[in-house]
Amino acid sequence: MSKLTLGILLIFSGLSAHGFSQEKHIQYKSEYFVILVIDGPRYTETYGDTSCTYIPNICNTLMPQGTFFSNFRNNGPTYTVPGHTALMTGIYQRISNVGAGLPRNPSLFQYYIKERHTLNTDAQIIASKGKLNVLSNTKDRTWNNKFRPYSYCGPNGNGLSYGPDLETMVKVKETLLSATPPHLMMVNLLGVDVNGHGNDWKKYLDNIKYTDAYTLEIWNAIQENPMLKDKTTLFITNDHGRHTEGHKNGFVNHGDGCDGCRHISLLVLGPDVPKNQEITTEAEMIDIPVTIAQMLHIGFPTGKGRFLSEIFTKKL
């Protein structure tokens, strides 16, 4: 096949997946999107525990208001930077987990800033882990250093070291309650992951509880801001899980293809999302940015995930 033919085929397959499908013409109520990434809890200690011991706010208050994916997966490298990269760029790739390299492809946030001709503060990354500032840029030559979202990663927002989630939450709430909140926002909270690596079972569980409370605070802040209320979709998800009990060192680490590392979770809430719905079909992290792009009617040709149409099929 000639290069030209292949190019044309690629263009058309891109259009059918992301350009001219039916959903393109649906008008969604959501104008604002928040992706909350709870870093590294294992499914067995969150939704997999049917008594919801460690996530009472999510189970009792948020799940009844949203759509839950019980078979949500990280199908790429199960580390922090690769996981977040998949959520931002819609494609899995190997990438340094210490922040030594940039994502290969532009992120949804870059496409958004470019297409909407908007300020970089209209798409923001706020992360407890400094290394996640690599998400604000890409190696792609035509996009490198262009249309970069605002990034505040690490304790002083300068991309260095790790900060406590409590401080990250101050910044997150300040941003969500501002008069001009960003249309796109990604938040990373690290407490669960760091205490898992610390091999401290009690602190690991305590941090799942803290993060559960922070998640409700984020949802409440959205309801408090008249700019965001009834116009915001919140995606509550993870970058990876942790090793299955009995596999390697269990909850202490992650990074391979075991079910504990791959099985993560997604709970979606917002004005377009049916309440109290559970979806058991498989979905994966690269589907999140593709879904947001389609809800926003933004072109996102490099995103390889699929539109999560099953969220919207049930009547509201």
Contact residues for Zn ion, defined by CB under 5 A: 193, 243, 256, 258, 261
Q: How far apart are CA 237 and CA 116, in angstroms?
A: 26
SS3 124: strand
SS3 277: strand
Residue type, 103: P
- 15 Cβ contact partners less than 8 Å away, ≥ 6 residues apart: none
- Burial class of 3 by CB neighbour count within 10 A (0 to 12, 13 to 18, 19+): exposed
Q: How far apart are CA 140 and CA 261, in angstroms?
A: 29
Choose between 9 and 100: whose C-beta lies nearer to Zn ion: 100
Choose between 41 and 103: whose C-beta lies nearer to Zn ion: 41
Q: How far is the CB of 261 from Zn ion (least distance, A)?
A: 3
Q: How far apart are CA 172 and CA 30, in angstroms?
A: 19
Q: How far is the CB of 247 from Zn ion (least distance, A)?
A: 6
Q: How far apart are CA 42 and CA 241, in angstroms?
A: 5
Choose between 23 and 259: whose C-beta lies nearer to Zn ion: 259
Q: How far is the CB of 252 from Zn ion (least distance, A)?
A: 10
Structure tokens at 288: 């999140």
- In order, the DSSP letters of 48-99 are TSTT-SS-HHIIIIIGGGSEEEEEEE--S--SHHHHHHHHHHSS-----TTS
The residues facing 37 across adjacent strands are: 188, 237
Q: How far is the CB of 197 from Zn ion (least distance, A)?
A: 6
Q: How far is the CB of 256 from Zn ion (least distance, A)?
A: 4
Dihedral sign of CA atoms 209, 212, 216, 221 in order: positive
What is the signed CA dihedral for 255, 233, 218, 177, rounded to 10 degrees?
A: 130
Choose between 45 and 193: whose C-beta lies nearer to Zn ion: 193
Choose between 155 and 255: whose C-beta lies nearer to Zn ion: 255
Choose between 73 and 243: whose C-beta lies nearer to Zn ion: 243
Choose between 216 and 258: whose C-beta lies nearer to Zn ion: 258
Q: How far is the CB of 85 from Zn ion (least distance, A)?
A: 15
Q: How far is the CB of 152 from Zn ion (least distance, A)?
A: 21
